[in-house]
Each structure stands twice: as structure tokens, then as C-alpha cells.
Amino acid sequence: MIVRIGVTSGWEPGTVVEGWPMVYVNKGLTDSLEEAGAIPIIIPIFDNTQHITSYMDFIDAIIIAGEILSVKRNVVKAIGTNVLENSNPLRYKSEMAAIQAAIRHKKPLLGICRGFQVLTVVEGGSVGDNDINIGNHVLHQQGGVYPPDVGSHRIHITPESKLFDMLKVHSPVVNSFHRQAVDKMPDGYRVAARSEDHHIEAIESISGPFRMGLQFHPEMLTEEIWKDFFVEFVNLVRTEKLNS
């Protein structure tokens, strides 16, 4: 059975190639889905977010993708507070619409890095504005230090979680490209993993359709467990499609 998984895109206003605004997706993510047996469907940034609802008619699940450009390269106004939204309001609006549409249509949903944080906020949790790397022995922003296929710290997975069922490991090493962290969990979710400094690294829905957020980028990690993770995710989507 064909499984089609929507992948949200990023947007930058024409600073990477001057004068040419771009929407973009990390190829590692689309490659991971293809290798796991799914067809990725890229969802561009829309000014009119009502268009996103139309994708729910022909995708079976959605991934709210992470960021691959630094804030300095895609910021569109002064950040100040509420960094998650203000660093790129147009992208945030599209991501929020995609999450809300997926929830309405009961589609399985995976949020990666930034996507995990937006999912948390849309579902009623919160993300802090402070840089958690300052004075921290755990490296959460490894940009410029380690490449994305190299892990920077270990996480501890909750044994009773869906994430543990998918990975079958307790303490894998993950990569990390964020400065802000989840402060408050949304209702209806549980913590699936924490870092060694106790920051939340994964959440998942307690009941209903599969919804999970990961603070790291599994699509860039080369260990076999991360390939298995995407296989498990695609199989889960396939099963939910058969049962719907």
C-alpha cells in the first residue's frame, strides 16, 4: 500500500541567494521517508493557509519539519520575545495551520526540532525564550562544532513510551540544533525522552492518533536505529490508514 507523507517546508526571504526567496526541505528527511517505503509530499509555505487543508485529502500523515538555516539567515523582523514565532512569522503561521489541519483530520503527526516546539505551543504547551546553552554542560546547539550526522549528547527514553517501542534503546546519542526548549507540556501528552540536563527531548500523545515531537533530527543520524525509526513510523501510518 502506498503511503504518502506530507513534509512542511522552510522559507527565507532572499538572503541565501540575494533577491530570490526560497522554500526548502532538508533532503535527508525526504530520503529517509523514501528509504522507509513512503512517498514524501512537500508542502510549501502559503500566504493563504487555507490551501494546506487540501493536502489532507491525499496525504496519510504529516511531518512538521525542523529548521536547517540559522535564525540570522531567515529572520524577518526583530526577535525580542516569543522567539519561535517571531523568528519567522510566515513559516510559523503555515506550520500552525498544518498541525491544526492534521489534528482535525486525525492524521498521524511527527514534529522534528522546530516542528516539535511548534506542535507543543499549538497544543497548549510553551517554549521558553532563553538560550539553554548558556552555562550548560550539555551542548544543545552543535552548529559549527559537529556536523549533523554526529551526536552531541545523550537522551534518556521513557521505557513505557511509544518512542521506546520504536527504537528499543534506552539512551541513544542524538544531534542537537536548538537554543530554546519546551517549558510546559501540553495536556494529553507525556514526556518520551529527556536530555541529561533534564530538558524535554521528546513528547508523544497519550491516546488517539499518533502524535510525536522530537527535539533532534533523526533523519541526519546514521545509526541503524534511526533508519528503523522511520520504517516504524511509515508502518504505523500504513496501519492507521488500513484501519481508518
The CB-based long-range contact list for 74-81 (8 Å cut-off, 24+ gap) reads 74/10, 74/11, 74/12, 74/13, 74/15, 76/13, 81/129
CA dihedral 201, 207, 209, 214 (to 10 degrees): 0
State how far Cα 192 lies from the chain centre: 14
What would the pLDDT profile of 89-130 be if each residue is shown by its tens digit?
899 999 999 999 999 999 999 999 999 999 999 999 999 988
Residue 161 has pLDDT above 90, yes or no: yes
> Which pTM does this prediction carry?
0.95
Give pLDDT tens digits for 187-197.
999 999 999 99
The DSSP bridge pattern shows strands 39-43 and 4-8 to be parallel
Question: Taking the domains of the chain in order of start, what are their residue ranges?
Answer: 4-243
Handedness of CA 153, 158, 159, 163 (dihedral sign): negative
| Closest alpha carbon to 100 in 66, 53, 60 | 53
**Mean pLDDT value across the chain:** 93
Question: Are the C-beta atoms of residues 84 and 117 closer than 8 Å to each other?
Answer: yes
Burial class (CB in 10 A: 0-12, 13-18, 19+), 101: buried
Other C-beta atoms within 10 Å of 14: how many?
Answer: 11
Distance of alpha carbon 131 from the chain centroid: 19
DSSP 129: -
Residue 81 has pLDDT above 80, yes or no: no
The pLDDT of residue 76 is above 70: no
User: What distance in Å separates the CA atoms of residue 76 and residue 93, rounded to the nearest whole number?
Assistant: 13
| Mean pLDDT to the nearest integer, 76-87 | 71
**Three-state SS for 33?**
helix
32 has pLDDT over 80: yes
CATH 3.40.50.1820 fits 4-243, yes or no: no
d(CA 26, CA 79): 24
End-to-end distance of the chain based on CA atoms, in angstroms?
Answer: 14
